[in-house]
Homo-oligomer: A and B are copies of this chain.
Amino acid sequence: MSTTETPDSVVRAYIAQHRAAFLDNLADWLRIPSVSADPDREGEVRRSADWLTAKLKETGFPVAEVWETADGGLPAVFAEWPSGDAGAPTVLVYGHHDVQPAAREDGWDTDPFEPTVVDGRMYARGAADDKGQVFFHTLGVRAHLAATGRTAPAVNLKLLIEGEEESGSPNFSDLIRRHADRLAADVVVISDTGMWAADTPTVCTGMRGLADAEISFYGPDTDIHSGSFGGAVPNPADEAARLVAALHDADRRVAIPGFYDGVIELTERERELFAELPFDEDTWLGVAKSRATQGEAGFSTLERIWARPTAEVNGIWGGYTGPGGKTIVPAEAHLKLSFRMVAGQDADKVRQAVADWVATQVTPGIRHEIEFRGSTRPCLTPLDHPALQSLARSMGRAFEQKIGFTREGGSGPAAELQDVLGAPVLFLGISIPSDGWHSINEKVELALLDKGVEAAAYLWADLAAHWNTSNAAN
């Protein structure tokens, strides 16, 4: 019997048998308030790492250890379970064990650190983001073993569970570079995202990258009197505003020459798949807390946020901003811009294109400075990639329905794994938009958590059957 032919009923029976203990364990973990942003809770983040390490050993991982980050940062957990099969692919699962801050007084109906099950949902900080989605891998790998009769997974399974994701992953880049040898993998599975909806299971195929810039414009040496000089010298606030206005053409395409160089365009198949999703503009606007859509001509809202590069002004300031008026030509003005990039774009080239373009826009008499901060690269796994096919197939078996495809408009440090490890990235997540990430009453749907366990249980056997390391260069 090949690994993909394991009866799904075996997996389901195993999950049903162990569900209660699994949830008890998850609840124990959720009781640890591992809030990475709160210096007073550093001890809790460490306790969470220790708890997970012990639990992974108990699950069967022969290696499970706490990894310290540089500069006194908060620890990650690394675990490894070799397959033992020659030529088995190596998979690295990424998640995080730290959580957002939460307090009952914020408006929670229950104690955020006392998990409470109501109507098939477990409410707790971290239930969906991300402890629940990390933890389904523990029961998932056991179900995989039970169903296949194996004593080790069909893939070389590695886990890297970060402890600083909710505080901006300040040491993540350093961590994965230092441990690149031990993290080496043929494919990365990110379990820190979600699906379109409970009744519309989806697989994400990529994330946008991010580059940001701060641009400063300097005019007069000091603020000067707009009565005496206004209308006769350039105004840096005007300059900043005109630059923002020039960022887009009338079709809301980014007007910076070279900005779109290398962009991997959406395929017709992807556009069809996105169009099949039950998108409702009013509902989406409600989530966006906005009144109207606006974006690049020729693309749908989903295409705009998932698959098109953008330029956004995140902040602008200059001159007098207090009460009343002040008749000045301000000495300086500033912009914070960010650029979302899609696969095929290169952050260095985008930054160079931005810098070159800004230099051509600035009026004589205005001096400008441009500062770029770090960037996050985009990632995209093509629809026909065998690993993505394995994931979609595993999800399809778990959900017993057709799986849709999405992308993620945001950018994450996890995408850096793609670069450092040179491996494609898959997203296996079962959270849904109503799960309340970073908000009050965060929860996970227990029925979907089961599906996560089940998909993980199928995935390792499917990958081993349909993937071999010669695919790794894809």
Contact = CB atoms under 8 A, between A and B. Distances in A.
Given A296-B231, A316-B316, A321 B336 contact: yes
A293 B233 CA distance: 4
Contacts of A288: 220, 224, 228-229, 232-233
A242 B301 CA distance: 22
A473 interface: no
Contacts of A296: 231
Nearest to A285: B233
Contacts of A316: 237, 240-241, 316-319, 321, 333
Contact of A304 (B232, B248, B305): B232
A168 to B, nearest CB: 9
A365 B293 contact: yes
Contacts of A452: none
A75 to B, nearest CB: 24
What interface size band does chain A fall in?
A: 35 or more
A232 B301 contact: yes
Contacts of A243: 241
Given A241-B316, A319-B314, A329-B312, A210 B232 contact: no
Contacts of A305: 228-232
A10 interface: no
Given A226-B338, A231-B296, A330 B317 contact: no
Contacts of A338: 226, 230, 325, 327
Given A373-B324, A409-B230, A315 B330 contact: yes
A221 B327 contact: no
A200 B227 CA distance: 22
A367 interface: yes
A441 interface: no
Contact of A212 (B228, B294, B325): B325
Contact of A340 (B230, B246, B314): B230
Copies of this chain, tallied across the complex:
2
A292 B228 contact: no
Give the interface centre of A208, A410, A411 by most chain B CB atoms within 10 Å.
A410
A128 to B, nearest CB: 16
Contacts of A226: 310, 312, 314, 338, 340
A289 interface: yes
A96 interface: no
A237 B244 contact: yes
A326 interface: yes
Nearest to A311: B231
Contact of A365 (B291, B336, B410): B291
Contacts of A291: 219, 364-367
Contacts of A310: 226, 230-231
Nearest to A319: B315
9 contacts: A225-B410, A227-B410, A230-B409, A233-B294, A234-B292, A292-B364, A294-B363, A314-B319, A325-B373
Given A234-B294, A238-B312, 7 more contacts: A219-B290, A219-B291, A230-B340, A232-B304, A238-B248, A291-B365, A314-B329
* A-B residue pairs, 10 tightest by C-beta: A292-B365, A227-B410, A231-B310, A245-B245, A241-B244, A315-B319, A241-B241, A221-B289, A233-B290, A315-B320
